[in-house]
Structure 1
Amino acid sequence: MLLRLRVSLPDRPGSLGQVARTLGVVGADIVQVVVLERVGGRAVDDFAVVWPAAAPVDRVLAGLAVIPGVRVDGAWRTTELPDPSAREVAIVGQIAANPAYGLSTLVDAAPGVCAADWAAVLSVPRDWASVGGLAPDVLCASLRAPEVPQIPDIAPLRPRAMSAGGGTHLAVAPFHRGGLVLAVARGRADGDGDGEPGLYPPPFHRSEVDRLAQFVDAVAVVLGDRLTDVTRVAA
């Protein structure tokens, strides 16, 4: 299986190599490393590794835990390797070629782009925060999305990361048209987490939220007034 590990480590020569060697010793094959931040003498990196499906994930975590100064902030399954640029460009191109199915294409592709479990386009009324207790309308959702997503208060609409109940983490980015928002989430649709020993998806990092917002902005430019039309139909 393809496993992602979010690792916080000292930002000094040799630390990354030590983590890589340890992953190799426990049997993990590194296929990608994504740098999320370098701040205050520490680094946060996402490692994508191939890991035997029958082997306990705890073995990886135990191996990393003995490295001085290293902390594992998350471990979760993924199906794709996020490409920092080419994949989003290809998806926007697909949407431009067939805009009538633009939102469907977006929610199907977004989990792979964002290392998430599911995605949904939501319609959030202007008075949603003041009314309370109502779920936003789901206009389009990926396969693993819950029927009624548990979305915390996201007003005012702006790109942000947040957490819902049961260990589910979300990132949202508005289209800036008609109250439409793209939400992506890590964690099982029923809110109970991945349900596998050793797996605990981390919150979305600010760099991931920024990337999501840029992706949504590009899609909004391509779809233009179609987004307003979708909102009118939903209403």
Structure 2
Amino acid sequence: MLLRIRVRLPDRPGSLGRVARTLGAAGVDVVQMAVLERDKGRAMDDFTVAWPAGAGVERLAEGLESVPGVSVVGIWPTAEPQGAYPDAAVIGQVAAAPERGAEILADAVPAILSADWAGLAEPKGERGAVLVHASAGGEPGADLPGLLPLRPRAFTAPDGTQFAVCPLAGGGVALVVARTGAPPFHRTEVSRLEQLAAAADAVLAGAARVVGA
């Protein structure tokens, strides 16, 4: 299975190498790595690794925590999107079937952002929101926490679920992404969601103009 590992580490030469060696000694295969932030001598990185199904992650976390200056922010299951450029591939799929473009985007987002599920929701003001479409793992028709103000952002629900939300279709619906047992969505993840939504909106608006011509 694939795991996403988020760690904080000193932003100095050798730190990343020590983390990589620790992962290798634990028997994991690093699939990819992303730098989320670098500030004031510290960095936050995400690693996607292959890990034996059913194996506990405790010794993996303990090994990383034993590296001086390293702290584990979270370890959670993930899925690796197909292809070298998954964001571009998704927008291509949206363009190929614009009548289902918003749903295609929502179905693809969980793998891109290491989330449990995503969906399209209609905000209901202070009464929360209703999920009108859900990817695998979500429940269409389910009630959601309030999404207002509807802007690209991340928040934690009262039950601990981590959400990222972004307006879609000019704010007519909200693109909602959720995960549990994981850290909050980082600002780089929210930015990536915003970019995907903006690209999809541009493609769908262009398709609408062609149909209406």
TM > 0.5:
yes
Equivalent residue, structure 2, for 1:157: 150
Q: Unpaired segments of 5 or more residues in structure 1?
A: 188-199, 228-235
Q: Which stretch shows the higher mean deviation, 217-226 or 108-117?
A: 217-226
Residues 4 and 46, structure 2, Cα contact 8 Å, conserved in 1:
yes
The 1-side partners of 2:58 and 2:87 are apart by 33
Equivalent residue, structure 2, for 1:34: 34
Please tell me the root mean square deviation across aligned C-alpha atoms, in Å. 2.1
Equivalent residue, structure 2, for 1:195: none
Equivalent residue, structure 1, for 2:200: 219
Equivalent residue, structure 2, for 1:206: 187
Equivalent runs, 1:85-100 vs 2, <5 Å:
86-100=85-99
SS at 1:167's partner residue? coil
Residues 117 and 137, structure 2, Cα contact 8 Å, conserved in 1:
yes
Determine which structure has the larger strand proportion and give its number: 2
Residues 32 and 47, structure 2, Cα contact 8 Å, conserved in 1:
yes
SS at 1:23's partner residue? helix
The 2-side partners of 1:222 and 1:15 are apart by 42
The 1-side partners of 2:118 and 2:12 are apart by 36
Q: Which amino acid aligns with 1:28?
A: V
Equivalent runs, 1:91-170 vs 2, <5 Å:
91-125=90-124, 128-129=125-126, 134-147=127-140, 149=142, 151-170=144-163
The 2-side partners of 1:164 and 1:20 are apart by 33
Residues 88 and 215, structure 1, Cα contact 8 Å, conserved in 2:
yes
- The 3 A distance-change label for structure 1 pair 54 and 44 is same
Equivalent residue, structure 1, for 2:67: 67
1:174 aligns with 2:167: yes
Q: Unpaired segments of 5 or more residues in structure 2?
A: 209-213
Equivalent residue, structure 2, for 1:5: 5
Deviation of the 1:143 alpha carbon? 1.3
The normalised TM-score by structure 2 is 0.90
What number of residue pairs does the alignment pair up?
208
